[in-house]
Amino acid sequence: MRVSTNFAVIAAVTLFSSAAHGQPKQSELESARELLKAGKADQSLALMDPIIAQAMLKDAKDPKAICPSVAVALLQTFMKGNFSVSVENDWCEAMLVKSYALNELKRPAEAAQVLENLVGHDPSNAQYLIEYAYTVRVNGQLERSLDLYKQAEKLAAKQDRESGAHWRAAALRGQGYAYTDLQRWDDAVKAYQRSLKYEPGSELAKKELQYIEQHRPR
């Protein structure tokens, strides 16, 4: 089985703060992301573990507890008037970064467990489900991965136009990877071609289509 690069970009945590408070200091999450980009996955992991451990003592001990950023979004929807809420070191985003670090450290089984828990906290998040599907695929569960990518595609279709298009393309590329690993070449081509409708400039999809053309049986 080919293992592709984890293609989902590391999303920045959403911070809600007023201009009067000035620029917030760099959070552990931001530091952890920078460490990952610098190839220091072990140091990144060390920053995330305390955030997650603290959350498990309170908010995240319930497997169905919603992520802090989701709670803030709901609050903004139902509250009226001007108010400022800050989400710093969101433990759900910490779990996501931890999964990246574990994958970089070649510990995909642990990463899959973290992501499975994360999806439970925010089951409507297409990005989280895509990352889970990727890690499941790395662990060799191709059919399960394919099912998760299809679920993620459906979730992405419900998002706003711009982000929805991006995550639909990512979910379809994931399907393409899984189909390729399963040697279901025609299905893989269809998945990549569909992904290009949402992100026409994707070099990832184009390169994978070239790979299929070069390696599929004649």
* Sequence ranges of the domains in the chain: 124-218
**Averaged pLDDT score across all residues of the chain:** 85
Structure-token pair, residue 127: 């990005």
State the pLDDT at residue 85.
Answer: 52
State the pLDDT at residue 70.
Answer: 84
Please identify which residue in the block is written with the tokens 């309170």.
Answer: 58
Averaging pLDDT over each range in 11-20, 24-33, 79-88, 126-135, which range is the top one? 126-135
pLDDT at 13 over 50: no
Percent residues over pLDDT 70 in the chain: 82
Note whether 179 and 146 are within 8 A (CB): yes
> Phi/psi class of residue 188: alpha, beta or left (left: φ > 0; alpha: ψ in -120 to 50)?
alpha
State the pLDDT at residue 11.
Answer: 31
State the pLDDT at residue 79.
Answer: 67
Note whether 98 and 114 are within 8 A (CB): yes
State the pLDDT at residue 15.
Answer: 27
Superfamily of segment(s) 124-218? Tetratricopeptide repeat domain (1.25.40.10)
CA 143 to CA 160: how far, in whole Å? 28
List pLDDT tens digits, range 69-109. Answer: 887 777 766 666 555 555 677 999 999 999 999 999 999 99
Note whether 37 and 104 are within 8 A (CB): no
State the pLDDT at residue 161.
Answer: 83
- For 189, residues 6+ apart whose C-beta sits below 8 A from its C-beta are 176, 209, 212
Which pTM value belongs to this model? 0.83
Please identify which residue in the block is written with the tokens 């992100």.
Answer: 199
CA 127 to CA 125: how far, in whole Å? 6
State the pLDDT at residue 117.
Answer: 95
pLDDT at 115 over 60: yes
State the pLDDT at residue 108.
Answer: 96
List pLDDT tens digits, range 53-74. Answer: 999 888 888 888 999 888 777 7
CA 31 to CA 24: how far, in whole Å? 13
Angle, helices 126-138/142-156, rounded to nearest 10 degrees = 170
pLDDT bucket at 16, cuts 50 / 70 / 90 = very low
CA 208 to CA 173: how far, in whole Å? 9
State the pLDDT at residue 61.
Answer: 85
Q: What is the mean pLDDT of residues 145-168?
A: 94
Q: What is the mean pLDDT of residues 16-37?
A: 65
